[in-house]
Structure 1
């Protein structure tokens, strides 16, 4: 297992430090045991994104919380929104204990408050709403339901993945590829997926884990790179950590083992906090999710003029 992401550059041969081909089982890393109707426990500890990081990967916390919420409702309910906060650093030497509060149970919507605990302390909170309406079905009267979305940046639809540079993180089994210079102002477009084709073979992932898998890849982004693309200059932080994480699932037509297009917009940075919005698109250009996150992004003040 590597402690650092490694570069993927199609113009060069495979770097010697790539790990050997390995089987990756997402289910074994994220699965939980049911203790009672309102209590669940992770089967294994969650991992850090890098050995040097203080706590475990935030995307793994959100991913496991989604799975817990889904286990607490009928199988036809799927997540449509997650609003979460990272309240304490999470250690990688013990599992997460999950407590579920059933806020509401309706015919089309259900709501769960999910608390992640370690050593009897709440380290993560999530309010998760689930619905039976994430799939568009033909109407019996033949009419077409109203639909609208923002068009994706063209770079996310027309690309040759074999020619794109990027990075991969074996700790998280995640690959990111950058598109050419963006044509849409204020946007950092990139592609991301679960699994590293160059050195990993994914074991089969059951449909039940589909939403958790997409959630897993949504927290791995590089704000410094986004600023470099959007502002045309590097903005390096002395401290960078997620404060919260919100996901809206708009549709069921996605697969995080395939390339997901992301259009990232850092919209506001002040008081050491940076807010960013990400639109996620499948390979057909359909917007399947939106992420909103605020990061504690501490940058040294610039010199006085």
Structure 2
């Protein structure tokens, strides 16, 4: 009997909506209560990850909570904890609790559960639009002076490669202070936007969910990147992943095939290049004395939404990530996100387990 990855059979893709809207679509489960929802479509399990992509749980929890809040309220903060790895072959149930409904602020909690156990939990706060009054204190960090990516000309190879893929496309924007000996001085930059056009029907809530989805992308990996530590360093592990990248149509592993379909061509090419370089070094014995990541997984994730109605997630957003601290087997990353016109729209923090491969086994396990 085939496994059911959604509670109900997924409906056809709605082509009047952007791919991210289809990915994050929720279905109410009225038999379990008025504020219970489930994923309408299967969720992505990235290659090498312990479970589903965390951004999906973040975004769908936000989407579920927003369905219980009046439209004149917008989320301003979201604090999340990853409890257990989500299984992409089991439906998720999102249980929303209406903690408080005030005149200016509303509080919600959401638990994402599989097999009755919580895999993810979050507390969200919403504020009424304009409740701050006419006089307010205002300041924001300006967006760095960077040029927006140029779209390829129609019909070119690059344009054809950008068709399809995952719900988002991204472009590298370099690393500030790349050659600094101090990891805390480095800043990793990217541009990202949703593919397609987010529908008017989705409203500003669809753009917020899309933004929440992308905040988990590359985030905790910032810690290893500023230390120039490759994510995959084992020759056997690299050989397996390289084979998958070179021959995606010949794979029998359903999970990897599904994940590869979500990777856009630019990301796959970049991953192939980095993996091949790391494999060459590992094979030649150059990395024997270097550090290697043994485990990297997110623990908690916070988003502060500054201007929830002042951006479009289907336009280029500029992201800058840095890591002010790492130690005790953990690392902290900070992320700032600006809209295409330079408005600071969100600030995020994330802490995760960053364990290096040891000569001796660790004292504790998660």
Please give the range of the TM-score, normalised by the shorter of the 2 chains: 0.7 to 0.9
Q: For residues 127 and 25 of structure 1, do their structure 2 counterparts lie closer, same or farther at Cα, with a shift above 3 Å needed?
A: same
Larger Rg: 2
Pairing 1:79–2:107 present: no
Q: CA deviation at 1:100?
A: 1.6
Q: CA deviation at 1:90?
A: 0.8
Pairing 1:204–2:210 present: no
Q: CA deviation at 1:54?
A: 2.4
2:85–2:119 contact (8 Å) kept in structure 1: yes
Residues 163-218 of structure 1: per-residue CA shift (max 9 Å, x gap)? 9x9x98976422221224537943222212222xxxxx556362131211111111
Pairing 1:115–2:111 present: yes
The residue number in structure 2 matching 1:194 is 194
The residue number in structure 2 matching 1:11 is none
Q: Distance in 1 between matches of 2:87 and 2:77?
A: 26
The residue number in structure 2 matching 1:176 is 170
Q: Determine which structure has the larger strand proportion and give its number.
A: 1
2:175–2:186 contact (8 Å) kept in structure 1: no
> Which aligned pairs between 1:1-305 and structure 2 lie closer than 5 A?
25-34=19-28, 35=30, 36-50=33-47, 52-133=48-129, 139=134, 145-155=136-146, 158-161=147-150, 172-182=166-176, 185-195=185-195, 201=196, 204=199, 206-207=202-203, 208-221=205-218, 223-224=220-221, 228=225, 230=226, 233-234=228-229, 236=231, 237-251=293-307, 252-300=309-357
Q: For residues 62 and 134 of structure 1, do their structure 2 counterparts lie closer, same or farther at Cα, with a shift above 3 Å needed?
A: farther
Q: Distance in 1 between matches of 2:20 and 2:92?
A: 17
Q: For residues 227 and 298 of structure 1, do their structure 2 counterparts lie closer, same or farther at Cα, with a shift above 3 Å needed?
A: closer
Residues 4-46 of structure 1: per-residue CA shift (max 9 Å, x gap)? xxxxxxxxxxxxxxxxxxx653233212222233322222232
Q: CA deviation at 1:254?
A: 1.5
Equivalenced residues, count: 264
Residues 62-95 of structure 1: per-residue CA shift (max 9 Å, x gap)? 0000011001111222111110111011111222
Q: CA deviation at 1:250?
A: 0.5
Q: Distance in 2 between matches of 1:135 and 1:261?
A: 28
Give the secondary structure class of the aligned counterpart of 2:52.
coil
Between 121-130 and 37-46, report the one with greater CA deviation: 37-46
Unpaired runs of 5+ in structure 1?
1-22, 196-200
Q: For residues 243 and 78 of structure 1, do their structure 2 counterparts lie closer, same or farther at Cα, with a shift above 3 Å needed?
A: same
1:168–1:176 contact (8 Å) kept in structure 2: no
1:254–1:282 contact (8 Å) kept in structure 2: yes
Q: Distance in 2 between matches of 1:169 and 1:88?
A: 34
Residues 243-262 of structure 1: per-residue CA shift (max 9 Å, x gap)? 11110000021212111111
Q: Distance in 2 between matches of 1:43 and 1:159?
A: 34
Unpaired runs of 5+ in structure 2?
1-14, 153-157, 179-184, 232-292, 360-366
Q: Distance in 2 between matches of 1:225 and 1:162?
A: 26
